[in-house]
Amino acid sequence: MSVDYFQKKIDTINRLKKEKNAIILAHNYVLGEVQDVADFVGDSLELSIKAQNIDEDVIVFCGVQFMAETAKILSPEKTVLHPVKECGCPMADMADAPSLREFMKPYPEAVTVCYVNSTAELKTEVDICCTSANAAEIIALIPKEKDIIFLPDKNLGANVVKDTGREMILWDGFCPTHMRLRPDYIIRKKKEYPHAVVIAHPECRPEVVELADQSLSTGGMLRFARETDAKQIIVATELGIIHRLQKENPDKQFISISEQAVCMTMKMIELDHIIYALENNETEIILDEETIEKAKLPILRMIEMKDFNIW
Ligand code: 13P
Ligand code: SF4
């Protein structure tokens, strides 16, 4: 693709952003050209914190549905546009509120800890949210005698159980992209690059995380890459992160453990969709007031990370 081809689109986006008083937020997994046109790129926690403090009237959210919903919940007075409305997170769709109510029947007193990769509807029924960046710290806030139900990601849950030693009742959800990454992929890459360090996302299965030197959120991976002396880093997560890792660290080599590590929905948003979204005010995230109020509570508890007197 010629530079000119992208530059025209980027110029159009920048003009529309000014006209509409808009800001573009993007997740670390979206296409490289979308990351490059964004005003802020981050992991789920960084994006949630950023969404609370936006001056512009319009937020164009380039990521999956639950991320755009979280931005709306935290900044309900803003117009939040999701350029491709079909772009969801399959893991978030593995848990819904009625199923949680049923699941909780044997544990009526349990504390529910919900990964932000979940629907707004589910968030209205849980006690506290977490991301991959803060899950262990959130668990540490909960009194020892309490049962914990962790949902929807069983892999993140199992990795947190291993790290903290705290037993939890795990929901049977998973990320299809990370689930595909097998331990032998790491073993093979380590043979090929014997001096490389390995970083893995905690959505990977515990057997994969066990083989890594560090288990980190995407934001944590970017910090680690900046700080490490290692020159070769094997990366066990979605391929989109390689763009930013390589851009910020041109002197280091980043090796993805598999070309299959692609989240299809994260890759659906292209520059043309952003132009269309800004020109047509589409697709706006609409949530009713009650959902916003109820779903905001567990997200704010997570961000503020205080010892809440709620359990
Ligand atoms: P991070 O919060 O680490 O960016 O992860 C989000 C996600 O969807 C990973 O699959
Ligand atoms: Fe959901 Fe997995 Fe895609 Fe993240 S990588 S958005 S968890 S499907």
Q: Are residues 150 and 203 in the same domain?
A: no
Output the 3-class SS for 196-214.
CEEEECCCCCHHHHCCCCE
Output the CA 177–ligand 2 centroid distance in Å: 7
Query: Does residue 169 share a domain with residue 135?
Result: yes
H or E segment and range at residue 60: strand 58-62
Look at the chain and report how many structural domains it folds into.
3
- Residue 106 Cα to ligand 1 midpoint, Å, equals 30
Give residue 303's pLDDT band: very low, low, confident or very high (50, 70, 90): very high
Are 7 and 76 contained in the same domain? yes
* Residue-averaged pLDDT of the chain: 97
Same domain, 224 and 274: no
Give the domain range for residue 60: 3-88+266-287
Q: Give this prediction's pTM.
A: 0.97
Q: Give the pLDDT confidence score for residue 1 in this predicted structure.
A: 63
4 pLDDT above the threshold of 90: no
- Summarize the confidence of residues 63-83 as an average pLDDT: 98
- In the reported structure, the alpha carbon of residue 247 is separated from the centroid of ligand 2 by a whole-number distance in angstroms of 22
Q: Tokens in use for 238? A: 């979605």
State the CATH number of the domain containing residue 228. Answer: 3.40.50.10800
Q: Is 305 left (phi over 0), alpha (psi -120 to 50) or beta?
A: left
- Going from the Cα of 238 to the center of ligand 1, the distance in angstroms, rounded, reads 9
Does any domain span residue 74?
yes
pLDDT at 309: 75
181 within a domain of the structure (yes/no): yes
Nearest CA to ligand 2 atom 6: 89
One domain for residues 42 and 115: no
CB-defined site of ligand 1, < 6 Å: 28, 43-44, 117, 131-132, 175, 203, 217-218
268 close to 34: Cβ distance less than 8 angstroms: no
Residues 103 and 130 in one domain: yes
Read off the pLDDT of each residue in 78-100 and give the average, rounded to a whole number. 98
Residue 111: pLDDT over 70:
yes
Q: Is residue 296 part of a domain?
A: no
The ligand placed nearest to the CA atom of residue 48 is: 1
Nearest alpha carbon, ligand 1 atom 9: 203
Q: Are residues 80 and 9 in the same domain?
A: yes
Could you identify the atom of ligand 1 that is nearest to the CA of residue 221? Answer: 3
The stretch 225-244 carries a mean pLDDT of 98
Q: Please check whether residue 306 lies inside any domain of the structure.
A: no
